[in-house]
């Protein structure tokens, strides 16, 4: 017989979003049951943001050693101990893991059941082992996503890596070939290149194609300077395992063709890899949840949700990657906050994707929030574009980090519609602009605050001040000044 559990909230999935809902609801005195079939902390902690940023940090230090001569210090080629890099990455995971542990959440009053769960009807979830049946007033599905693997001929014959497995490597890849030139692909490409691997990216469309090309070109140029080989607009025709599997156990030959404008196949080519990383996006984890029994509408893109994150079953919410929208850890946390407000306080809080920033953690970093220039020009009749280069920033000059600029988009009244930054610490700089966009602030407000000197964030204030650069030359302004001078 299954144990019957009645609770206020049942959360399925202990990633970033699920943990936030569970902790917040428990803090308000709600009875919470949390189901997780895998590792606590989900993708972000174990195979995503945390290990990738730890790897990027190691790569950053290696590159600093190569560039030391810029500061009057002898440059050296770093000796990379990839086992030690692996250990560093996993020690960072280990340091953060207690915050997401079963013990911590049980201490917060959450009942944690380490089993998969599936709906048996609209108000009941059963565990995979049949030990528990959970009835709740509200359910939150936070099962995340998994790496999507493209249907390429022969890919099933090679031991390819995804972001879920690449951080297990203890030996440096000799030649890492990455399928996919989105944020995950380029971040891991640059990190491995800086750690001494040869790296090639194969991309069906364009590298960082989602981003403003004016900004992404700065990143792409840097990738090329560092020796990463980029193939854009290609179709992978087939993949063959390496002939000598003993010498290269992860090796493969990837045959691809260049696709020209109009979809005409161009020259065929191939590349030999010692390791292959698939970074072609992610798919929502919607299988084996019993969503049909729950009356929850979904597709392969994810669970269909309203702006309140509620599904077609009024008792069930879906958050994070499984909801089929923007796939970022901070979005899952944002969704969690909406759901807590809606379940506990009935506030009807709604998602606003316009205020959500994103960052690609390459060097230089690329960050964005709000409307892009192209989107703003399409939606609004009149927009104004303000820019300021890192090369005109004293801190950037001092640190030899002058590549990049900020771009700010306003409407004709000066309300900030969006902002993009490419350059060092762009991910930190975009924070203030995310607040500005979310509060619909006017560019005039940005000229009135005092920025500490010297900081990289000054690029934003200088761009804002440039909105008024033509004032001294306006005849009307000069007349006012002359009149006031006459008054003494």
**Cβ distance 294 to 315 under 8 Å?**
no
CA atoms within 13 A on the CB side of 288: 9
The burial class, CB within 10 Å (0-12 / 13-18 / 19+), for 79 is exposed
Q: Is 229 annotated as a binding residue?
A: no
Q: Is 180 annotated as a binding residue?
A: yes
Q: Is 206 annotated as a binding residue?
A: no
| Dihedral class, residue 177 (left if φ above 0, else alpha if ψ from -120 to 50, else beta) | beta
CA gap 189, 201 in Å, rounded: 8
Q: Is 127 annotated as a binding residue?
A: no
Q: Is 159 annotated as a binding residue?
A: no
Q: Is 42 annotated as a binding residue?
A: no
Q: Is 109 annotated as a binding residue?
A: no
Q: Is 182 annotated as a binding residue?
A: yes
Q: Is 133 annotated as a binding residue?
A: no
Q: Is 15 annotated as a binding residue?
A: no
Rg, Å, the chain Cα set: 25
Q: Is 181 annotated as a binding residue?
A: yes
Residue 246: what are its φ and ψ, rounded to 5°?
A: -70, -40
Per DSSP, what are the bridge partners of residue 315? none
Q: Which of 351, 348, 340 is nearest to 21 (CA)?
A: 340
Q: Is 447 annotated as a binding residue?
A: no
Q: Is 329 annotated as a binding residue?
A: no
Q: Is 391 annotated as a binding residue?
A: no
**DSSP letter (8 states) at residue 442:** B
CA gap 38, 22 in Å, rounded: 17
Q: Is 47 annotated as a binding residue?
A: no
**DSSP letter (8 states) at residue 399:** T
Q: Is 452 annotated as a binding residue?
A: no
Q: Which two tokens stand for residue 479?
A: 């007349």
Query: Which residue ranges make up the annotated binding site for NAD(+)?
Result: 180-187, 203, 281
Query: Which residue ranges make up the annotated binding site?
Result: 53, 117, 143-145, 180-187, 203, 281, 321
Query: Which residue ranges make up the annotated binding site for FAD?
Result: 53, 117, 143-145, 321
């Amino acid at each position: 017989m299954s144990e019957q559990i009645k609770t206020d909230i049942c959360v399925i999935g202990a990633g970033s979003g699920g943990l936030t809902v569970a902790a917040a609801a428990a803090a308000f005195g709600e009875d919470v049951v949390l189901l997780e079939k895998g590792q606590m902390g989900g993708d972000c902690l174990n195979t995503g943001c945390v290990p990738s940023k730890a790897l990027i940090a190691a790569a950053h230090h290696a590159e600093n050693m190569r560039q030391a001569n810029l500061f009057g210090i002898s440059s050296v080629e770093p000796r990379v101990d990839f086992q030690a890099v692996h250990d560093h990455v996993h020690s960072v995971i280990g340091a953060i893991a207690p915050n997401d542990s079963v013990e911590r959440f049980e201490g917060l009053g959450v009942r944690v059941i380490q089993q998969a769960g599936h709906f048996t009807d609209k108000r009941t979830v059963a565990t995979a082992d049949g030990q528990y049946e959970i009835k709740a007033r509200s359910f939150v599905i936070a099962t995340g996503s998994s790496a999507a693997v493209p249907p390429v001929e022969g890919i099933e014959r090679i031991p390819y890596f995804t972001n879920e497995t690449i951080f297990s490597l203890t030996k440096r890849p000799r030649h890492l070939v990455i399928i996919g030139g989105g944020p995950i692909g380029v971040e891991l490409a640059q990190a491995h290149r800086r750690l001494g691997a040869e790296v090639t990216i194969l991309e069906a469309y364009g590298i960082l194609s989602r981003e403003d090309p004016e900004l992404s070109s700065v990143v792409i140029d840097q990738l090329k300077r560092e020796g990463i080989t980029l193939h854009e607009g290609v179709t992978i025709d087939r993949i063959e395992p390496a002939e000598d599997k003993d010498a290269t156990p992860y090796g493969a030959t990837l045959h691809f063709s260049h696709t020209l404008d109009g979809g005409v196949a161009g020259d065929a080519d191939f590349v030999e890899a010692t390791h292959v990383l698939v970074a072609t996006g992610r798919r929502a984890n919607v299988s084996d949840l019993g969503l049909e029994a729950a009356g929850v509408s979904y597709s392969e893109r994810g669970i269909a949700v309203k702006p309140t994150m509620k599904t077609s079953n009024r008792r069930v919410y879906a958050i994070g990657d499984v909801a089929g929208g923007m796939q970022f850890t901070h979005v899952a946390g944002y969704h969690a906050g909406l759901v807590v407000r809606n379940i506990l306080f009935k506030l009807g809080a709604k998602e606003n994707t316009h205020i959500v920033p994103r960052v690609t953690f390459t060097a230089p970093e690329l960050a964005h929030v709000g409307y892009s220039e192209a989107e703003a020009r399409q939606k609004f009749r009149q927009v104004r574009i303000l820019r300021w280069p890192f090369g005109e920033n004293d801190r950037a000059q001092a640190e030899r980090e002058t590549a990049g600029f900020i771009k700010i988009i306003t409407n004709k009244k000066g309300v900030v519609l969006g902002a993009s930054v490419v350059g060092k610490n762009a991910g930190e700089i975009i924070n203030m602009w995310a607040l500005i966009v979310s509060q619909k602030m006017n560019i005039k407000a940005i000229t009135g605050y005092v920025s500490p000197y010297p900081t990289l964030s000054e690029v934003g204030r200088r761009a804002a001040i440039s909105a008024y650069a033509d004032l001294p030359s306006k005849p009307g302004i000069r007349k006012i000044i002359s009149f006031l001078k006459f008054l003494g």
